[in-house]
Structure 1
Amino acid sequence: MRTLEGVRRSGAALAERVGDPAARFTNPVHEARTAAILGIALAVAFTACFTTGVLSHLIQYPPSWFAWPSRPAGFYRVTQGVHVTTGLATIPLLLAKLWVVYPHFTSLPPVRSVGHFFARLALLPLVGGAIFLLVSGVANVARWYPWTFFFPRAHFWAAWITIGALVVHVGVQWATSRAALRRAAVAERDPVLVRATSGERRGFLAGVAGAVGLVWVATSGGTVAVLSPLSALAQRRPGDGPQGLPVNKTAVGAGTEELADDPTWALTVEGRVDTPLRLTAAALAALPQRSATLPIACVEGWSASARWTGVPVRDLLALAGAAGDAEVQVESADDSLYGRSELNRSHAADPDTMLALLVNGEPLHPDHGAPLRLIGPNRPGVMQTKWVTRLVVR
């Protein structure tokens, strides 16, 4: 406490000699009410991103206590669409908030009380974490990785740090923001912030809202199909790609471009089964088929629906004599990080979880996983394994 008091006195003495640098910022929107309004908008946006992001992480890397259901079929499409589009729209919000409050960063004395010290301390992980999440998130949407760390894990833990700092920041600033929103004369007493007229504030906030809307429209075409013609910055659009579906990883990129024409290819079903199976493409096509309209919902936010036809996984499990509560590991000819995925009990038993041979009535294109791919309801696209070669029943 003595150290904090010493810093406060030193800062106050310096401010008396040279003046408070923050006083030089006289733009009328550098005030508490504008900061509070933007802070509420950012808190809502970050909470939405945090909730949907943690959910996506749990789905892809489930702990033992978490079981993601297979229904509603398009629910993940919605949650991940919200995650990405909200994250992108948060960028102008964050820039506006930083612009409004940045005079506060230079104010003297730098520490005025214990509460003020913790408020400033929480800004380091809050601002740093927010910038990291948005920059790395945009890079992931663009599939550009100029780093060596594993993005999902880093993004996940950075989100927890940032949301923790946000909770601290809200707690420290609660009284000030509440008073500002009640139109109390907080700004007049603050040596850093200057009161803005209602018209100036509304004009500034309208500009910020317009920027948020512009970013949302320009980037949401991959998620909201009706916006596709207007989304100049959308990473993927429904209808683009072979057979009208976007592609992230091609057969050439996976080294599986010849698999569709390989006469030796066969699907094996093994593990906890009474009768291991080895089925060629012709044998699979001879089994009872099922068709369903299901979305591919990518973790980068885009999604697209198609009509898939193939053999339900539960029918293959029954044919092999697997237990009714079986879980399945799906393995691909692609031996990369995402060359396998898991089907929990709900997904393995769902009639629409299938190994597809056709899409929209046509044989699968190699880029869509020919000769065989997994497709199921309410799953991230990265878990809709392509170029399937084996099911391991557990």
Structure 2
Amino acid sequence: MDSKPPGALRRLDRPLPPPPAFLRRGPFREGAFTSPLHEPRTAVVLGRWLGAALLICFLTGLTSHFLQEPPHWLAARLPSRPVNGYRFTQGLHVISGIAAIPLTGAKLWTVYPRLFAWPPARTVLHALERLSIAILVAALLLELFTGLLNTLQWYPWPFPFRQTHFWLGWLATGGLLLHLAVKAPLIARHWRRPQAPVAGRRGFLLTVGAAVGAVTLTTAGQTVPWLRSLDLLAPRRPGFGPSGLPVNRTASQAGTVTVPADWRLVVDGPRPFRLDLAELRELPQYEAVLPIACVEGWSVSARWGGVRVADLLARAGAPAGSAVRITSLEAEGPYRVTELPASYAADPLTLLALRVDGEELSPDHGFPARIIAPNRPGVLQTKWVARIEVL
């Protein structure tokens, strides 16, 4: 009887021929890496830290994406509370993403000698595993790199950032889950503290932890008020800008420095009407302390004053539960037209703001009027409002 197992699937485990001896030079030679820290236990500890940071970053990133661009079934269910919800989740997204950068570097340093292992692939299955790791590492590095440059508002690439960042997040997370499944037995063996510690491991892990802590403390102040005095490396420092508020898109960039003298707010609904600035000021005025929280990770609270959007909709005869479309004066831009779901439109804290901290809005902050709503991304807090349309 033939002792060879039948079937093509078993042949995937057949060893590949070894490489020629003359190729085993430099980092490919036996014993090229002497550090005892290139070992599984160190990799598992760093992997736990990195995995936690990436999980937080991924989940908060999904939150941001669905608040900015909700699918149809979700748009009507978006909550307008808690007031600081988006400020918290997006701040945590950027904090965890920045923390993941030194953790990724340390993790890759620990395992990079495996890049030079011979043979490169022992079997076809091993080759597929290494290919999946290559895709995971490439997606993760590109995700962190583009995310970091987004905090600087620098986009030196031809592809759209937000959509690419979203799908890279799914690719990196899927690759990570696959990698964890493949390496589960190895991770389980080295999950607990070993009996014989490796020389230098404790110091190395403490150094990595200190680096992550330093990066976090010197950047998180752009969204965590009590860390603001340590905000040394963050690209934005809340408190700087017109009216003490940072500005992402200025009136000059939007082409709204000069507002037409005949500006009127147009409210379209069953009973449409128009109001000039003086008439808006004569309506009942309300104030709310709300944050501006931007996707780049910075946020700051201010006292906004103006007219409730719900009051404008009631005057226009909008049915209960109506969403609205907001159109800006700016000629073009990805957020020139935005939609305000019904839960936000009905919230008494959602204002058509005319003032900030007791002063008339500056051109950069949206003069003559802007939208300010709780638990909403800053890019959707439309400035230079020209029209409110009942949907």
The normalised TM-score by structure 1 is: 0.91
Cα distance in 1, alignment partners of residues 192 and 226 from structure 2 = 40
Give the aligned partner of residue 192 of structure 1: none
Deviation (angstroms), 1:254: 0.7
Contact 1:251/1:367 (8 A) holds in 2: yes
Deviation string 1:18-53 (CA, Å, 9 cap, x unpaired) is: 486363101111000000111111111111111111
Show CA shifts across 1:145-184 (max 9, x none).
1112111100000111110000000001111011022456
Amino acid at match of 1:364: L
Contact 1:85 1:216 in 2 (8 A): yes
Percent pairwise identity: 49
In structure 2, what is the equivalent of residue 301 of structure 1?
297
User: Which AA in structure 2 matches 1:134?
Assistant: L
Q: Is 2:98 aligned against 1:100?
A: no
- Distance in 2 between the 1:28 and 1:312 partners? 64
Task: Spell out the pairing of 1:170-181 with structure 2 (5 A cutoff).
Answer: 170-181=180-191
Match of 2:370 among 359, 362, 373: 373
Look up the SS of the partner of 1:246 in the other structure.
Answer: coil
Q: Does 2:253 match 1:253?
A: yes
Map residues 29-68 of structure 1 onto 2, 5 A cutoff: 29-66=37-74, 67-68=77-78
Does the 8 Å CA contact 1:22/1:106 hold for their aligned counterparts?
Answer: no
Partners in 2 of 1:17 and 1:361 — Cα distance?
Answer: 73
How do 1:228-267 and structure 2 match up within 5 A? Answer: 228-259=228-259, 262-267=260-265
Q: Distance in 1 between matches of 2:44 and 2:29?
A: 22
> Does the 8 Å CA contact 1:219/1:233 hold for their aligned counterparts?
yes
- Superposition deviation, residue 55 in structure 1: 1.3
Higher helix share: 1
List gaps (5 residues or longer) in structure 2.
1-8
User: What residue identity is the alignment partner of 2:390?
Assistant: V
Give the aligned residue type for 2:122: R
Q: What one-letter code is carried by the residue in structure 1 that aligns with 2:267? A: V
The alpha-carbon deviation at position 238 of structure 1 amounts to: 1.9
Q: Contact 1:347 / 1:353 at 8 angstroms: preserved in 2?
A: yes
Structure 1: 4+ residue segments shifted above 6 A? none
How far is 1:214 from its partner? 1.1
Tell me the equivalent position of 1:387: 384
- Counterpart for residue 84 of structure 1: 94
Query: Is the alpha carbon distance of 1:242 and 1:305 closer, same or farther for their aligned partners in structure 2, counting shifts above 3 Å?
Result: same
**95 and 15 in structure 1: CA distance in 2 versus 1, 3 angstrom threshold:** farther
Distance 1:33 1:347 in 2: 49
Q: What do residues 255-277 of structure 1 show as CA deviations (whole Å, max 9, x unaligned)? A: 10112xx421110011xx22111
CA–CA distance in structure 2, aligned partners of residues 224 and 255 of structure 1 = 32
- TM-aligned CA deviation for residue 198 of structure 1: 4.0
State how 1:128-207 maps to structure 2 within 5 Å: 128-182=138-192, 197-207=197-207
* Aligned match of 2:4: none
Match of 1:190 in 2: none
Contact persistence 1:15–1:108 (CA under 8 A): no
| Structure 1: tracts of 5 or more residues without a match | 186-195
Alignment match of 1:329 (pick from 322, 325, 328): 325
Contact 2:37 2:198 in 1 (8 A): no
Residue deviations 1:189-209 (CA, integer Å, cap 9, x gap): xxxxxxx94451110011101
CA distance in 2 between partners of 1:268 and 1:14 (Å): 77
**In 2 relative to 1, CA 40–345 (structure 1 residues): closer, same or farther, beyond 3 Å?**
same
More off after superposition, 237-246 vs 18-27: 18-27
Show CA shifts across 1:5-29 (max 9, x none).
Answer: 56x4323x54798486363101111
Task: For residue 356 of structure 1, give the secondary structure of its aligned residue in structure 2.
Answer: strand
Once the two structures are superposed, what CA deviation does each residue of 1:217-259 show, in whole Å capped at 9, x if it has no partner? 2211211122223222212122111111111111111110112
SS of structure 1 residue aligned to 2:16: helix
Check the 8 A contact 2:292/2:378 in 1, yes or no.
yes
Aligned twin of 1:283: 279
Residue matched to 2:5: none
| Structure 2 contact 350–372 (Cα < 8 Å) conserved | yes
Question: 2:12·2:125 contact (CA, 8 Å) conserved in 1?
Answer: no
Amino acid at match of 2:54: F
The range that moved more, 111-120 or 363-372, is 111-120
Q: Following the alignment from structure 2 to structure 1, what is the Cα–Cα distance between the partners of residues 13 and 348? A: 68
Write the distance in 1 (CA, Å) between the matches of 2:121 and 2:13: 8
**Matched position secondary structure for 2:300:** strand
Does 1:274 find its partner at 2:270?
yes
Post-superposition shift, 1:110?
Answer: 2.1
Q: Residues of 2 paired with 1:116 and 1:181: CA distance?
A: 23
Distance in 2 separating the partners of 1:301 and 1:106: 38
CA contact (8 A) 1:77 1:378 kept: yes
Aligned counterparts of 2:88 and 2:374: Cα–Cα separation in 1: 13
Tell me the distance in 2 between the aligned counterparts of 1:274 and 1:342. Answer: 18
Residue pair 1:328, 1:344 contacting (<8 A) in 2 also:
yes
Aligned-pair distance for 1:4? 5.1
| Residue 33 of structure 2: aligned partner | 25
Q: Distance in 2 between matches of 1:318 and 1:163?
A: 45
Decide which of 114, 119, 123 is 1:109's aligned counterpart. Answer: 119
The reply on whether 1:313 has 2:309 as its aligned counterpart is yes
